[in-house]
Amino acid sequence: MDSRRLRIASLAVLGASALSVLAGSAKADVTIYTSYPAYVNGSLENLVPFYDDGTPGYPGGPGLGNTITFGDTARQLTTVFLEEGNAGGNTGSYTLTLYGGADPNTAPELGSVTIPSHSGINQFDEFDFTSQDITLPDTITFVVASGAGSFNGVASASGAPTIGSADNSIWYGSPGSYVANNTFATADGAPANDNYLTAEFNAVPEPSAVLLFVTMLAGVAGLAFVSPKKLT
């Protein structure tokens, strides 16, 4: 094979690689945080309540959340899943709000999604952020809020996150007055020293990262067409 054909073949391979990267980045979600499975207390998964359920020391509602740090490197947010329960009838809605930092009282709001609440114990709810074009920082705080109702809350995780990490504390309250607490969930039935809510965050690589990679491929392809005489 002469040098010209070799260069054309090299470009074809590089082009196929670039298309593969672009296609993969467009459809492949990466899980960047997960704290499943939920903790089972007796016959039911334990729910940290959105409201005062009578357990002493309730910090306040209606919001519940964790400060988390993501694994992997994908940061273009697509979906979030939370496991929530509600045995007391429909309470209207669940609103998930994301804050760009470790303190939801001072960090900027990144976005929020509201979905209808459900009636039933332990259901996985999907919050779709795809249309909001959110690029996540490495650490955020998520807070989900709903109304009062029997067994209405977010399921406790059975342990620390398996992808990413989180502060071993839960935020309670409402915007501007959230408080962190690491004792109430255990008193309410969660495992000892376990303040992790069940959650999963999914993302895709940022478009800029994909573009950079393709640009690098194009640069290499350009070298393939440089005459050997020009390189000497």
Comparing 221 with 103, the larger pLDDT belongs to 103
Query: Would you call the peptide bond into 37 cis, given omega within 30 degrees of 0 as the criterion?
Result: yes
Residue 58, judged by CB atoms within 10 A of its CB (0-12, 13-18, 19+), counts as: middle
The mean pLDDT value for 168-190 works out to 96
CA distance 161 to 196: 8
Least confident of 28-32, 146-150, 185-189: 146-150
Closest CA to 144 of 31, 79, 53, 50: 50
Tokens of 91: 């309470």
Closest CA to 153 of 38, 17, 49: 49
CA distance 178 to 135: 24
CA distance 222 to 220: 5
Tokens of 131: 């249309």
- CB 131 within 8 Å of CB 79: no
Q: To which residue do tokens 């071993």 refer?
A: 168
Tokens of 125: 């709810």
Residue type, 60: G
Q: What is the pLDDT of residue 150?
A: 65
45-100 tens-digit pLDDT: 788 999 998 999 999 999 999 999 999 999 999 999 999 887 665 567 899 999 99
**DSSP H or E stretch at residue 180:** strand 179-181
The mean pLDDT value for 205-232 works out to 52
Question: How does residue 144 score in pLDDT terms, banded at 50, 70 and 90?
Answer: very high
Spell out the domain ranges in the chain.
Answer: 29-220
Query: Would you call the peptide bond into 49 cis, given omega within 30 degrees of 0 as the criterion?
Result: no
The mean pLDDT value for 93-111 works out to 97
Q: What is the pLDDT of residue 5?
A: 53
Q: What is the pLDDT of residue 220?
A: 46
CATH C-level class of 29-220: mainly beta
pLDDT for residue 23 is more than 90:
no
Q: What is the pLDDT of residue 36?
A: 87
Comparing 142 with 17, the larger pLDDT belongs to 142
How much is the mean pLDDT over the chain? 82
CA distance 66 to 79: 17
Question: How does residue 213 score in pLDDT terms, banded at 50, 70 and 90?
Answer: very low
CA distance 48 to 165: 19
Question: How does residue 126 score in pLDDT terms, banded at 50, 70 and 90?
Answer: very high
User: Residue 129 contacts by C-beta under 8 Å, 6 or more apart in sequence?
Assistant: 77, 78, 79, 80, 98, 111, 113
pLDDT for residue 22 is more than 70:
no
CA distance 230 to 189: 73
What is the torsional sign of CA 160, 102, 164, 50? positive
